[in-house]
Amino acid sequence: MADPVFGLLLCLMAVQTRPSVEVDHKGPVTEYTTGILSTWVIPSSYILIMLIGIPSNAYILAFLRVRLRSKSLSTVVLYLNLALSDLLLLLSLALRVHYHFSGNNWIFGEISCRLITALFYGNIYCSAQTIACISLRRYLAVVKPFLYRRMAKSTLA
Protein backbone atom coordinates (compact mmCIF):
# COMPACT_ATOMS: atom_id res chain seq x y z
CA MET A 1 0.00 0.00 0.00
CA ALA A 2 1.39 3.40 -0.98
CA ASP A 3 2.23 5.91 1.70
CA PRO A 4 0.11 9.10 1.18
CA VAL A 5 2.91 11.33 2.44
CA PHE A 6 5.33 9.81 -0.09
CA GLY A 7 2.76 10.38 -2.86
CA LEU A 8 2.31 13.99 -1.82
CA LEU A 9 6.08 14.51 -1.80
CA LEU A 10 6.33 13.05 -5.31
CA CYS A 11 3.59 15.40 -6.51
CA LEU A 12 5.32 18.39 -4.95
CA MET A 13 8.68 17.43 -6.47
CA ALA A 14 7.06 17.10 -9.90
CA VAL A 15 5.89 20.73 -9.86
CA GLN A 16 8.13 22.77 -12.10
CA THR A 17 8.78 26.32 -11.04
CA ARG A 18 8.70 29.01 -13.66
CA PRO A 19 10.40 32.40 -13.41
CA SER A 20 8.03 35.27 -12.77
CA VAL A 21 7.44 37.76 -15.55
CA GLU A 22 7.19 41.47 -14.83
CA VAL A 23 4.63 43.47 -16.83
CA ASP A 24 4.96 47.25 -17.14
CA HIS A 25 1.71 48.24 -18.83
CA LYS A 26 -1.55 49.30 -17.23
CA GLY A 27 -4.54 47.27 -18.28
CA PRO A 28 -7.81 45.98 -16.84
CA VAL A 29 -6.05 43.16 -14.98
CA THR A 30 -3.52 45.52 -13.42
CA GLU A 31 -6.27 47.95 -12.47
CA TYR A 32 -8.25 45.16 -10.83
CA THR A 33 -5.32 43.64 -8.94
CA THR A 34 -4.27 47.01 -7.54
CA GLY A 35 -7.81 48.35 -7.03
CA ILE A 36 -9.67 48.72 -3.77
CA LEU A 37 -11.91 45.71 -4.43
CA SER A 38 -9.02 43.29 -4.67
CA THR A 39 -6.76 44.83 -2.05
CA TRP A 40 -9.29 45.75 0.67
CA VAL A 41 -12.85 44.51 0.11
CA ILE A 42 -12.06 40.86 -0.68
CA PRO A 43 -9.50 40.33 2.12
CA SER A 44 -11.73 42.14 4.62
CA SER A 45 -14.58 39.82 3.63
CA TYR A 46 -12.28 36.82 4.07
CA ILE A 47 -11.33 38.01 7.56
CA LEU A 48 -14.99 38.39 8.54
CA ILE A 49 -15.76 34.94 7.12
CA MET A 50 -12.83 33.45 9.05
CA LEU A 51 -13.87 35.14 12.31
CA ILE A 52 -17.37 33.67 12.04
CA GLY A 53 -16.59 30.39 10.26
CA ILE A 54 -13.68 28.96 12.23
CA PRO A 55 -15.39 29.04 15.66
CA SER A 56 -18.69 27.90 14.12
CA ASN A 57 -17.15 24.91 12.37
CA ALA A 58 -15.10 24.04 15.47
CA TYR A 59 -18.33 24.06 17.50
CA ILE A 60 -20.06 21.88 14.90
CA LEU A 61 -17.17 19.39 14.98
CA ALA A 62 -17.36 19.21 18.79
CA PHE A 63 -21.13 18.76 18.64
CA LEU A 64 -20.86 16.03 16.00
CA ARG A 65 -18.22 14.24 18.04
CA VAL A 66 -20.81 13.83 20.80
CA ARG A 67 -23.46 12.73 18.29
CA LEU A 68 -21.13 10.22 16.63
CA ARG A 69 -22.69 7.44 18.68
CA SER A 70 -26.22 8.28 17.56
CA LYS A 71 -28.47 6.07 15.44
CA SER A 72 -27.99 7.97 12.19
CA LEU A 73 -24.26 7.57 11.74
CA SER A 74 -24.32 8.23 7.99
CA THR A 75 -25.91 11.65 8.47
CA VAL A 76 -23.34 12.53 11.12
CA VAL A 77 -20.56 11.49 8.74
CA LEU A 78 -21.98 13.73 6.01
CA TYR A 79 -22.16 16.74 8.32
CA LEU A 80 -18.70 15.93 9.67
CA ASN A 81 -17.35 15.88 6.11
CA LEU A 82 -18.96 19.23 5.35
CA ALA A 83 -17.64 20.86 8.54
CA LEU A 84 -14.10 19.52 8.03
CA SER A 85 -13.89 20.65 4.41
CA ASP A 86 -15.17 24.11 5.34
CA LEU A 87 -12.73 24.35 8.24
CA LEU A 88 -9.80 23.47 5.97
CA LEU A 89 -10.88 26.15 3.51
CA LEU A 90 -11.25 28.73 6.27
CA LEU A 91 -7.77 27.99 7.58
CA SER A 92 -6.30 28.41 4.11
CA LEU A 93 -7.97 31.80 3.70
CA ALA A 94 -5.30 33.37 5.93
CA LEU A 95 -2.75 33.01 3.13
CA ARG A 96 -5.19 34.44 0.61
CA VAL A 97 -5.80 37.44 2.91
CA HIS A 98 -2.07 38.11 3.03
CA TYR A 99 -1.92 37.78 -0.77
CA HIS A 100 -4.65 40.36 -1.31
CA PHE A 101 -3.40 42.80 1.34
CA SER A 102 0.08 42.72 -0.21
CA GLY A 103 -1.25 43.94 -3.56
CA ASN A 104 -1.89 40.47 -5.03
CA ASN A 105 1.73 39.47 -4.63
CA TRP A 106 2.14 35.80 -3.62
CA ILE A 107 5.32 35.40 -1.56
CA PHE A 108 4.87 31.80 -0.37
CA GLY A 109 6.17 30.05 -3.50
CA GLU A 110 4.54 28.29 -6.40
CA ILE A 111 4.00 24.97 -4.63
CA SER A 112 1.99 26.53 -1.82
CA CYS A 113 0.07 28.60 -4.37
CA ARG A 114 -0.94 25.43 -6.20
CA LEU A 115 -1.82 23.65 -2.96
CA ILE A 116 -3.99 26.51 -1.69
CA THR A 117 -5.72 26.78 -5.07
CA ALA A 118 -6.32 23.02 -5.15
CA LEU A 119 -7.66 23.18 -1.60
CA PHE A 120 -9.97 26.05 -2.55
CA TYR A 121 -11.50 24.28 -5.55
CA GLY A 122 -11.45 20.89 -3.84
CA ASN A 123 -13.55 22.41 -1.08
CA ILE A 124 -16.09 23.68 -3.59
CA TYR A 125 -16.53 20.21 -5.11
CA CYS A 126 -16.47 18.40 -1.76
CA SER A 127 -19.07 20.74 -0.26
CA ALA A 128 -21.33 20.54 -3.30
CA GLN A 129 -21.21 16.73 -3.36
CA THR A 130 -21.81 16.48 0.38
CA ILE A 131 -24.78 18.85 0.23
CA ALA A 132 -26.16 16.79 -2.68
CA CYS A 133 -25.91 13.62 -0.55
CA ILE A 134 -27.60 15.33 2.40
CA SER A 135 -30.35 16.60 0.09
CA LEU A 136 -30.87 13.12 -1.35
CA ARG A 137 -31.24 11.68 2.16
CA ARG A 138 -33.76 14.40 3.09
CA TYR A 139 -35.65 13.81 -0.18
CA LEU A 140 -35.89 10.09 0.50
CA ALA A 141 -37.01 10.73 4.08
CA VAL A 142 -39.90 12.89 2.86
CA VAL A 143 -40.93 11.17 -0.38
CA LYS A 144 -40.11 7.51 0.42
CA PRO A 145 -40.20 7.28 4.23
CA PHE A 146 -40.45 3.47 4.38
CA LEU A 147 -37.53 2.99 2.01
CA TYR A 148 -35.58 5.57 3.99
CA ARG A 149 -36.19 3.73 7.27
CA ARG A 150 -35.04 0.44 5.74
CA MET A 151 -31.93 2.12 4.36
CA ALA A 152 -31.16 3.76 7.69
CA LYS A 153 -31.36 0.41 9.54
CA SER A 154 -29.21 -1.51 7.06
CA THR A 155 -25.54 -1.81 7.91
CA LEU A 156 -22.44 -2.45 5.87
CA ALA A 157 -20.95 -5.91 6.26
Q: Which amino acid is at 103?
A: G
What one-character DSSP code corresponds to residue 40?
A: I
pLDDT of res. 4: 54
Please tell me the distance from the alpha carbon of residue 83 to that of residue 58, in angstroms, as a whole number.
8
Q: In the chain, where are the structural domains located?
A: 36-129
pLDDT of res. 152: 66
- The pair phi, psi for residue 106, each rounded to 5°, is -85, 120
pLDDT of res. 73: 75
Beta-carbon-side half-sphere exposure of residue 151 (alpha carbons within 13 Å): 12
pLDDT of res. 75: 80
List b or e across 121-148, with b for residues whose CB sees 16 or more CB atoms inside 10 angstroms: eebeebeeebeebeeebeeeeeeeeeeb
pLDDT of res. 76: 84
* Its pTM surpasses 0.85: no
Residues in the chain, pLDDT under 70:
1-25, 69-71, 152-157
SS3 156: coil
Q: Which amino acid is at 76?
A: V
Beta-carbon-side half-sphere exposure of residue 139 (alpha carbons within 13 Å): 6
